[in-house]
Chains A and B, each alone.
Chain A
Amino acid sequence: MSTEHPITFKRLQLEESASFDRSTLDYIHRASSTGLYEIRGLGAKRKLPHFDDLVFLTASLSRYPLEGYREKCSTKTVLGTRFAKKPIVLDTPITIAGMSFGALSANVKEALGKAATAMGTSTTTGDGGMTSEERLSSKTLVYQCLPSRYGFNPDDVRRADAIEVVLGQGAKPGGGGMLLGQKVNPRVAKMRTLPEGVDQRSASRHPDWTGPDDLTIKIQELRELTDWEKPIYVKVGATRVYNDVKLAVHAGADVVVVDGMQGGTAATQTCFIEHAGIPTLAAVRQAVAALQDLDMIGKVQLIVSGGIRTGADVAKALALGADAVAIGQGVLMALGCNRDSYQQGGQNHSAEADYAALGTKAGYCHHCHTGKCPVGVTTQDAILEQRLEPENGAKHVKNYLKTLTMELTTLARACGKQDVHHLEPEDLVALTVEAAAMARVPLAGTNWIPGHNG
């Protein structure tokens, strides 16, 4: 008698479960081994409704395009006109988001500053304070005031160009900063007043105010400190965006920064990154609606961040009503994050072995929290940080921002705009029902905006 069944079902023996897929199995195996949540860097990796689900209605018989180059399309952007004596004036609406020295190396901060200066835009400090590298290299520097207040001091407030009071960020609204011991090197430790090598715990609330009524007074304090010269930004991770923007305006913000769930971090719990906060696409229109309802369009500016990657993303964010965008992960990738090689001493070097040592590969890495960044970006290691040379890094970031600005103006010109700030929601349609509902623009080929007119 034959020992083999006459019919075999080879393919079904490798059937993956959608709920308990490999990623979930890995999660459960890891949790059962360590008893601790997973921590990683970057932002939400899962697929979400995003700017890719919107497309522009560019020139047609009823809308005439501008000629590239000769017919100008202005990108000048002014932020902080409401109360400050010295608003921020930028040459492009693309700014560099707050990222900490500690998460990033000093070389990176210098590179970002140089690139921003060359592009006529701003950089932003992060959780850990202001480094002299960044202040000296960045022409326009926004100084964050965070719950931890690491390194926060009045001298740096006085030498900043704007202050950003941070309630939260898109990667982890409600969570505080995080820096693991391997990145708390002597310099970082000193700036943050921490013992070297300890895992930093961070507060999730500010120590001296809670709620918009108290934020009003805190903003006034910061204004008093700067003799009312510098704009005050208020940054929120995108959750109850409509209410938050209204309250931030009531509290006296000059600029509101809204960071969607695709926003990155150098280290936080994965459960936060993937399951807290709303997509940037949904956040933008809510923020704009809040400003409209308060008649604050043009008086309080809106900066949007969280997964802004391309010139098209920038254009769409502006079309939906943002005055500017902030980019974090994108500029780190411009510096080499997830690239398989780095440039040091005028030569190309392969980083593949270092990615492999982390158990990953270029294109998949999110191990910023380890401090072992193969390309020297999110590290405090004295050897690794040499892999990012400030001049070279600055050139790469400048190229990236330049490309984005060119793409922005290309699309704006094709929509007939002489100023990128004239882009409007009616220039867009959506490719999916979710995107149409979130962005409040019609589904392509229809008049339908789900939840708004049907």
Chain B
Amino acid sequence: MCGIVGLLLKKPALYSRLGELMVPMLIGMTERGPDSAGMAVFGQPLPEGQRKISIYSGLTEAGASYDWVGLADALNASLKVKAHTTIKGNHAIFTFEGPADPVKAFVKQYDPKLHLLSAGRSIDLYKDIGTPAEVAQRYAFEALTGSHLVGHTRMATESAVTPDRAHPFTAGEDFCLVHNGSLSNPNGVRRMLEPRGIKFETDNDTEAACRFLEWRLREGDDLPSALQKGFEALDGFFTFLMGTPTELALIRDPFACKPAVVAETDDYVAIASEFRSLAHLPDVKHAKVFEPAPEEMYVWKI
């Protein structure tokens, strides 16, 4: 019910081409996921005292005509965070001074129908309903720059194809996850995490995996340890692709029924559910193309 894509550029000279290289990858996954698409892009981190959040207004009445400027003005008046915005219709990135939590809380009470997509210093996150090509065009994905990204296309089952169930899911700051497969015990995992102060937004099985990792990272595990615990706690079929400010990480469950293929050259590492999303990449004919083994953690750093 899904397609996943990941791209990490090894040479900063290529960062300006991230979006251009990514769009055909995403569109290659249209048949696996025709209903909605999401993309998390990691770029140059903001200085320590600043943060940014990505917000989606598609669930509000105004939708793509949302008064983002009004929100920014209200935010600055109230919290004095010197927020400035980058707006693309129903999506906005707010960059500001100080920690993210007070700004997130302000936005939530300002308009509960705004959907907070991500927070951090490096990550921008987009998700919306529509075909991958439509979503890519809506947010001008081709023009995006950055060092690495995690993307996803979805085949939905709910009648209202709502973007809040689309991937990537984020946890904490600068961490996101996409999933291809189906977990069989997400509800138990959710019920285990909620008393520990982990908040859930959906009943989506991927969110359960993401929040589990959020919990382990919060408790001080590094990513590999958190994933190792994930193998024990999470039941079902999965290929997970995760992004942090400096890494892409990939794991497959022991059954490895959900596909994944990697193409690596001196310039990039690209991951997708199917090779046809990699076929257009520069010099892919000479790339090292391989299938990641099950239960092994693959980590690529910028």
Contacts and interface: CB of A to CB of B under 8 A. Distances in A.
B34 A250 contact: yes
B237 A213 contact: no
B37 to A, nearest CB: 14
A193 interface: no
Contacts of B155: 212-213, 247, 250
A293 B158 CA distance: 9
A219 to B, nearest CB: 11
A243 B33 CA distance: 15
A213 B1 contact: yes
B202 interface: no
Contacts, number: 37
A213 B157 contact: no
B32 A210 contact: no
B1 A210 contact: no
Tell me the dominant secondary structure on chain A's binding face: helix
B31 interface: yes
B257 interface: yes
B157 A211 contact: no
A243 B181 CA distance: 15
A243 B204 CA distance: 13
A169 B210 CA distance: 33
B256 to A, nearest CB: 10
A246 B181 contact: no
B78 interface: no
Contacts of B157: 242-243, 246-247
A212 B257 CA distance: 12
Tell me the dominant secondary structure on chain B's binding face: loop
B84 interface: no
Contacts of A242: 157
Contacts of B258: 210-211
B257 A210 contact: yes
A211 B179 CA distance: 13
A216 interface: yes
A243 B1 CA distance: 11
A130 B182 CA distance: 33
A242 B156 CA distance: 12
A252 to B, nearest CB: 9
A213 B33 contact: yes
Nearest to B29: A213
Contact of A216 (B31, B35, B257, B259): B31
A246 B155 CA distance: 10
Interface string B181-198: 110000000000000000
Which of B2, B180, B237, B259 has most chain A Cβ within 10 Å?
Answer: B259
Given A247-B155, A250-B35, 7 more contacts: A210-B258, A211-B1, A211-B237, A213-B155, A216-B32, A246-B156, A293-B159
Contact of B1 (A205, A212, A217, A293): A212
Contacts of A210: 237, 257-258
Contact of B182 (A211, A246, A250, A293): A211
Contacts of B132: none
A211 B181 contact: yes
Given A216-B31, A250-B34, A211 B159 contact: no
Which of B2, B34, B155, B157 has most chain A Cβ within 10 Å?
Answer: B157
A247 B1 contact: yes
Contacts of B180: 213
Contacts of B181: 211
Interface in A204-222: 205, 210-214, 216-217
Interface in B193-238: 237
Contacts of B3: 213
23 contacts: A210-B237, A210-B257, A210-B258, A211-B182, A211-B237, A211-B258, A212-B1, A212-B155, A213-B3, A213-B31, A213-B32, A214-B259, A216-B31, A216-B32, A243-B157, A246-B156, A246-B157, A247-B1, A247-B155, A247-B157, A250-B1, A250-B34, A250-B35
A250 B257 CA distance: 20
Interface string A170-197: 0000000000000000000000000000
Nearest to A243: B157
Interface string A215-250: 011000000000000000000000000110011001
Interface string A122-133: 000000000000
Nearest to B259: A214
A246 B1 CA distance: 11
Contacts of B31: 213, 216-217
A217 B273 CA distance: 13
A263 B33 CA distance: 33
Contacts of A212: 1, 155
Nearest to A216: B31
A83 to B, nearest CB: 14
Interface string A241-267: 011001100100000000000000000
Contacts of B33: 213
A387 to B, nearest CB: 45
Interface in B227-272: 237, 257-259
* 7 A-B pairs with the lowest CB-CB distances in the bound complex, closest first: A210-B257, A243-B157, A213-B32, A293-B159, A212-B1, A246-B157, A250-B155
Nearest to B2: A213
A82 to B, nearest CB: 16
Nearest to B153: A213
Contacts of A214: 259
Nearest to A242: B157
Contacts of B259: 214
Which of A205, A210, A213 has most chain B Cβ within 10 Å?
Answer: A213
Nearest to A294: B159
A283 to B, nearest CB: 16
Which of A211, A214, A216, A217 has most chain B Cβ within 10 Å?
Answer: A211
A216 B259 CA distance: 14
Nearest to B154: A213
Interface in B1-31: 1-3, 31
A5 B237 CA distance: 67
A211 B34 contact: no
A211 B3 CA distance: 12
A293 B32 CA distance: 20
Interface in A261-295: 293
